[in-house]
Structure 1
Amino acid sequence: MSLKGIFLFLLTNIAVIAVASISLSLLGVGGYVNQYGLDLGNLLVFAAVFGFAGSFVSLLLSKWMALQMTGAEVIDPQHPRNQAEAWLVQTVHRLADKAGIGHPDVAIYPDPAPNAFATGWNRNNALVAVSTGLLENMTQDEIEAVLAHEVAHIANGDMITMALLQGVVNTFVIFFARIVGYFVDRVLFRNEDDAPGIGFYITSFIFEILFGILASMIVMWYSRKREFRADAGGAYLAGRDKMIAALKRLMTIHEPAHLPEQLAAFGINESAGERIMALFASHPPLEKRIEYLMRADERQLKLGLGLS
């Protein structure tokens, strides 16, 4: 990450901490360890505020952060610089109209890997960005299918759903890590003070990492399920043959994806990995996605956009 990227990351986290601290003060939530032991009610509120704060601050800033992290440039829909930019904007807007959402901003970012992503805090204020590698390695029909896949993500509200899911798992990670920390601090470190001891902080930190790894498996499982739905929605919008052709094209290109971690789950392409690492992949294997589309009937394609 560049110096600018690090600065933006730190700024976002400072904002999250500030918002969470103010929220806790307004809710009257103080310490969750007192002379009576662990106050589970206060702890749950504490965990929820910090668990959801990061997710929703990131969601609200997602478009701005995506542009800064990838170096993407938004195309002026009124004054595209060339025919390729004009076609991209027209295609995204046409697909958005068919999906029943507002027109997303359209951007191009420099990356030799063929990829694209969608982000934004709601379905009527979103961003669709494509890499230069995608434009250089795919036909117009294949690019249209990729754009349709990203528009389907927006129409399905996947960014909001992922933020909610991440907030829930963050809450339980913080909650249970501190319960374990309290137990270890009192039993193993024999701390009898009202305030938590060093054992509490060390154990809580370790178990936040361990529980966070397990929680990420749940989030990535949902992300993989969501990709099948976006593929179906993309096939409904652009055509099944185009969507399958785009996925097959991705199988023939071996350039690794370079999307930042925060955006990887919203891209079109990511390697699913091998064995245990497949549990942490945000995308299922391309061959499974192709098989799903080949078996899907018209009703399943419509359900990819929430249509009956």
Structure 2
Amino acid sequence: MMRILLFLGTNLAVVLVASFTLRLLGVEPYLNAQGINFNALLIFCFVIGMAGSMVSLFISKWMAKRSTGTVIIESPSNPTEKWLLDTVAELSEKAGIKMPEVGIFPAQQSNAFATGWNKNDALVAVSAGLLNRMQPEEVKAVLAHEIGHVSNGDMVTLALIQGVLNTFVMFFARIIAHLLDAFLRRDDNQGLGFFGYIAVVTVAEIVFGILASMIAAWFSRFREYRADAAGAQLAGSGAMINALARLKAETQMPDQMPDTLTAFAITTGQSRKLMEKLFASHPPLDDRIRALKEAAYRE
């Protein structure tokens, strides 16, 4: 269920705060004497919903550094850091993107993530555990996977999808609140009232947000296959398969990635439970390895 927190994180917090504040200020242009103006409501929800995802996107690097304790390599202090910078520079050039910031975060599990508001202003970070336990060609494959996320524009695309999902979450939540209020106003009753309306909208946004997160999770899983393919192209299929196999062997270790970054990490998504699979940001590693082997066989 951790994937729910990703969707309901920063962008949903902005949506809830903005919609609550605008309601308090009486800024709801979609309401009139005749009821709801659905066109105005949709535009209103789109502006607020997209704002939530865009805020989350623009502060993604700052959030990543703060929440993981990532230390950016400004200038290499040892051979490992120099190799890491040189490898990212090589992969970035191959992928046709500007070299991202490179950092290391202090987690013992082998992991990595990429984030940033566009492909030419990104951050790629690896865990200390990954550097300590993986072979150089495996580390390079992991870095290639993350560079694949960046070059594919996955962060921007995910933010746009979340913005659209936010729009419809807000849209349907307000329709339900309006219909319930109208139903309760029969026979000259007072309806939901000010705080009742806010409570219904908030609860409905949370419920619809959870359902919408399944869609975002599906896209995130699809995105992982694309990043694996990019990693295989940049670093070699064998190295990418070996790296995923190594990650699979470590899945029993405690995961130290913050919940808000799991969709940008290279591992997670091993559960076979139905509900956890629906909200998983990553496909099972066995499926990813199988997809790479099938692609290599077709070649």
Same fold (TM over 0.5): yes
Which residue, 85, 92, 95 being the options, matches 1:89?
85
Alignment correspondent of 1:142: 138
Q: CA deviation at 1:192?
A: 6.7
Name the CA distance, whole Å, in 2 between partners of 1:276 and 1:17. Answer: 28
Per mean C-alpha deviation after superposition, the further-off stretch among 135-144 and 85-94 is 135-144
Q: Does 1:35 align with 2:33?
A: yes
Per mean C-alpha deviation after superposition, the further-off stretch among 262-271 and 172-181 is 262-271
Q: Does 1:225 align with 2:222?
A: yes
Quick check: 1:114–1:257 contact (8 Å CA) kept in 2?
no
Q: CA deviation at 1:84?
A: 0.5
Name the CA distance, whole Å, in 1 between partners of 2:269 and 2:286. Answer: 11
Alignment correspondent of 1:234: 231
Name the CA distance, whole Å, in 2 between partners of 1:14 and 1:165. Answer: 16
Per mean C-alpha deviation after superposition, the further-off stretch among 139-148 and 37-46 is 37-46
Q: Which amino acid aligns with 2:96?
A: G
Q: Does 1:165 align with 2:139?
A: no
Kindly tell me: are residues 206 and 192 of structure 1, through their superposed partners in 2, closer, same or farther at Cα, counting changes over 3 Å? same
Per mean C-alpha deviation after superposition, the further-off stretch among 64-73 and 41-50 is 41-50
Kindly tell me: are residues 219 and 14 of structure 1, through their superposed partners in 2, closer, same or farther at Cα, counting changes over 3 Å? closer
Q: Which amino acid aligns with 1:236?
A: Q
Which residue, 43, 63, 66 being the options, matches 1:65?
63
Q: CA deviation at 1:58?
A: 1.4
Gapped regions of structure 1 (runs ≥ 5): 1-8, 301-308
Q: Secondary structure at the residue paired with 1:296?
A: helix
Q: CA deviation at 1:271?
A: 2.8
Name the CA distance, whole Å, in 2 between partners of 1:105 and 1:299. Answer: 35
Q: Which amino acid aligns with 1:287?
A: D
Q: CA deviation at 1:146?
A: 0.3
Alignment correspondent of 1:101: 97
Q: Does 1:249 align with 2:246?
A: yes
Q: Does 1:127 align with 2:123?
A: yes
Identity %: 49
Q: Does 1:281 align with 2:277?
A: no
Q: Which amino acid aligns with 2:221?
A: R
Root-mean-square deviation (CA, aligned residues, Å) is 2.8
Q: CA deviation at 1:194?
A: 10
Give CA deviations for 1:105-146 in whole Å, capped at 9, x if unaligned: 100011111110001111111110011111122111111100
The count of residues paired between Structure 1 and Structure 2 equals 284
**Greater RCO (Cα-Cα under 8 Å, separation 6 or more):** 2
How does 1:8-23 map onto structure 2 within 5 Å? none
Q: Secondary structure at the residue paired with 1:129?
A: strand
Quick check: 2:95–2:147 contact (8 Å CA) kept in 1?
yes
Quick check: 1:62–1:121 contact (8 Å CA) kept in 2?
yes
Quick check: 1:257–1:269 contact (8 Å CA) kept in 2?
no
Kindly tell me: are residues 299 and 68 of structure 1, through their superposed partners in 2, closer, same or farther at Cα, counting changes over 3 Å? farther
Give CA deviations for 1:52-88 in whole Å, capped at 9, x if unaligned: 1111111111111111111101001xx3010000000
Quick check: 2:119–2:153 contact (8 Å CA) kept in 1?
yes
Quick check: 2:181–2:192 contact (8 Å CA) kept in 1?
no
Gapped regions of structure 2 (runs ≥ 5): 1-8
Q: Which amino acid aligns with 1:260?
A: P
Name the CA distance, whole Å, in 2 between partners of 1:17 and 1:32. Answer: 18
